Structure 1
Amino acid sequence: MALNISYFAWVRERMGTAEEVVDLPADITDLTALLAWLAARDARGALAFAEPHRIRAAIDGVMAGAGAPLGEAREIALFPPVTGG
């Protein structure tokens, strides 16, 4: 399945890109598996997703928790927690 992934803030900096389109392996069916797969691909992913519990995500514009199923998602946004100031 082709999936557009957008990266924000320090996740974008660590990944070295704002977005990419990936073809997911069939066994990547939820957000937890996606983050593990991204971390295992290369050194940038390993750095960006070393602490997956710190990553927030939106699947097709809807906030999603760690084990959320990807289903037929077309876009995933990955970002650090937002803080006020």
Structure 2
Amino acid sequence: MEKLIFFGLVIPILFFVLYLGTRAIMSGVSAKQANQANKDENETDENNEELNTDKSLSNELEKLNALRESGVLTQEEFEKAKNKLLNN
């Protein structure tokens, strides 16, 4: 009779506790994967912004050089504008 009570009560409780533990571990793993995906996405966005900034800077320098070569800007004005772009 005692074995019947033991198997009837303790074993289901043990399985329930194991189920809750497994469920908690799996939700933690899912949260970690979601955080990693967000981190990867943010890094990709930052890399794209850096590339766009570099392209924009080179485009601006090319425009300044074209203005200098066409005679619109003097060498001093070109240097000032270039330094202003590079320091920002």
Task: Judge same fold: TM > 0.5, yes or no.
Answer: no
Task: Compare relative contact order (CA 8 Å, sep 6+) and give the higher one, 1 or 2.
Answer: 1
TM-score w.r.t. the length of structure 2 is 0.19
- As a proportion of its length, which structure holds more strand? 1
TM-score w.r.t. the length of structure 1 is 0.20
Specify the structure having the higher radius of gyration (Cα).
Answer: 2
